[in-house]
A and B are shown apart, each in its own frame.
Chain A
């Protein structure tokens, strides 16, 4: 395990920002932390990265207690890009490299990767938020860390920048790097993550592989050929253990959720075996927002 959080809690006075969060991030996964603003994503990462003091619970990196040395194996962008405004982009990255105790040789390459090569000698106080965000991503990449922690990495970026960051995350994941990504954007998590934990009001709602969590909410809508009594369909469906949450829809159609190992084709075959012929079968992807609302209900 790269990261294990056990019963992690954090309170600010009477405000409980995080309650008994436990989760584990496996090596090589792209782990998404999903939740609305104020749900505890940044608090979780701040606790994991040693800048916030937990009210309770433990953090383990690479199976051991976190230390300054374990943090040097991680590249992280937490909440905001944090740099010395009077130093240039290059000077800031050199400082980062020295703090991480790696050579400064990779600074130039990283600046090119994040598209700031031509402006590396400008003080960053003149940079836009998007440019600072790029620089912060570059700082996280320095030294090719085995783990990347990116908190809202597309914040402040234009659409092209957002696409670039997503490509970058996917490329890094392809190289086998472990990535922990916090976002309030569901489609961002869905596009790049292998695993997701959903947080709301400081509590873990659900966690697991992305396709089992985000696709579980897909519904299948079927309509029978004309002349077949609707009751027969209800009866047949209730006999199938993989079908649940059956609801009547308009025009005599019926919608349902299917178990993960039971696809629409399985449903079609099972109904046909009982002599029920479908006029239509439709897999309805629920909107991401609807899924999210469902998860955090």
Chain B
């Protein structure tokens, strides 16, 4: 199955364009981020110092999850547009196998995102804050949490792809949901309920660095702690994939 999905992915230029764009944006953002001046002081060295770097970087990278999410939507809606889901069922795939194939793609995309974060982190950490290199492997769980987060976003993207079947509308709904619909819904909802909303749970996995410090000044954000959010994030991802499977199994192709 891995081989089958790779045969579809590797020759596809769109895949490479979006992945390279994703990595380039991350690198660009991180390199520019060090130049930001706060209170007359460059935050550069504090941003790049291990082990805090991993937390900072995971937080920054979380803003770019929508890009590989969009790629996943394209890959899924393509199969509807090309009618290749239909042909694969005719050729002897089951609905479960088709969904598993896309889950595998989502895992590959997470792997790519994590590798991009690791590579970016090691490069900037070792070049800009070499004195902290001894702690380079500390705090890597932040990257692990980031990996869980990407799975959550990709599962949502996949569900929208399977549900809507057309790339443009699906991408639009994905962006609108993440940026507008859920934030608006959260607004009138009490904090102890809205912290369980999907993208809220996912964003809790990569909190703003020094949020604890902020919280003492501005009051608690009401979000779950990263560790607490993990089971909810995984449950959402599982639910979204299950719904995707049910959609594919029960609808006409």
**What residues of chain A have their CB less than 8 Å away from a CB belonging to chain B?**
46, 49-53, 67-69, 71-72, 74, 76, 78, 80, 82-87, 91, 94-96, 98-101, 139
B94 partner residues in chain A, CB cutoff 8 A = 67-68
A51 partner residues in chain B, CB cutoff 8 A = 86, 89-90, 252-253
B82 partner residues in chain A, CB cutoff 8 A = 82-85
14 contacts between A and B (CB under 8 A): A49-B90, A50-B90, A51-B86, A52-B253, A68-B97, A71-B89, A82-B83, A83-B87, A84-B8, A87-B8, A87-B11, A94-B7, A99-B4, A139-B87
Give complex CA distance A20, B3 in Å: 42
User: Is chain B's binding surface mostly helix, strand, loop or mixed?
Assistant: helix
Docked-complex contact B8 and A95, CB < 8 angstroms? yes
Instruction: Please pick, from B11, B86, B93, B250, the residue contacting A82 in the complex, using a CB distance under 8 A.
Output: B86
A94 partner residues in chain B, CB cutoff 8 A = 7
A46 partner residues in chain B, CB cutoff 8 A = 252
Give complex CA distance A49, B4 in Å: 22
Docked-complex contact B93 and A99, CB < 8 angstroms? yes
Within the complex, the shortest CB–CB distance from B83 to chain A, in Å, comes to: 4
Within the complex, the shortest CB–CB distance from A74 to chain B, in Å, comes to: 8
Residue on B with the closest CB to A12? B252
A95-B7 in contact given A68-B92, A82-B83, A82-B86 (Cβ < 8 Å): yes
**What residues of chain B have their CB less than 8 Å away from a CB belonging to chain A?**
3-4, 7-8, 11-13, 78, 82-84, 86-94, 97, 250-253
Most buried by A among B13, B84, B92: B92
Give complex CA distance A72, B252 in Å: 19
A95 partner residues in chain B, CB cutoff 8 A = 4, 7-8
Instruction: Please pick, from A53, A84, A100, the residue contacting B251 in the complex, using a CB distance under 8 A.
Output: A53
Instruction: Please pick, from A50, A71, A83, the residue contacting B84 in the complex, using a CB distance under 8 A.
Output: A83
A101-B92 in contact given A53-B250, A53-B252, A95-B4 (Cβ < 8 Å): yes
Give complex CA distance A74, B90 in Å: 8
Docked-complex contact A72 and B92, CB < 8 angstroms? yes
B97 partner residues in chain A, CB cutoff 8 A = 68
Docked-complex contact A71 and B253, CB < 8 angstroms? no
Give complex CA distance A99, B4 in Å: 8
Task: List the 6 closest A-B pairs by CB distance, nearest first.
Answer: A72-B92, A82-B87, A82-B83, A68-B94, A51-B253, A99-B91
Docked-complex contact B90 and A71, CB < 8 angstroms? yes
A86 partner residues in chain B, CB cutoff 8 A = 11-13
B90 partner residues in chain A, CB cutoff 8 A = 49-51, 71, 74, 76, 78
Docked-complex contact B86 and A99, CB < 8 angstroms? no
Docked-complex contact A80 and B91, CB < 8 angstroms? no
A50 partner residues in chain B, CB cutoff 8 A = 89-90
Docked-complex contact B89 and A91, CB < 8 angstroms? no
A99 partner residues in chain B, CB cutoff 8 A = 4, 88, 91-93
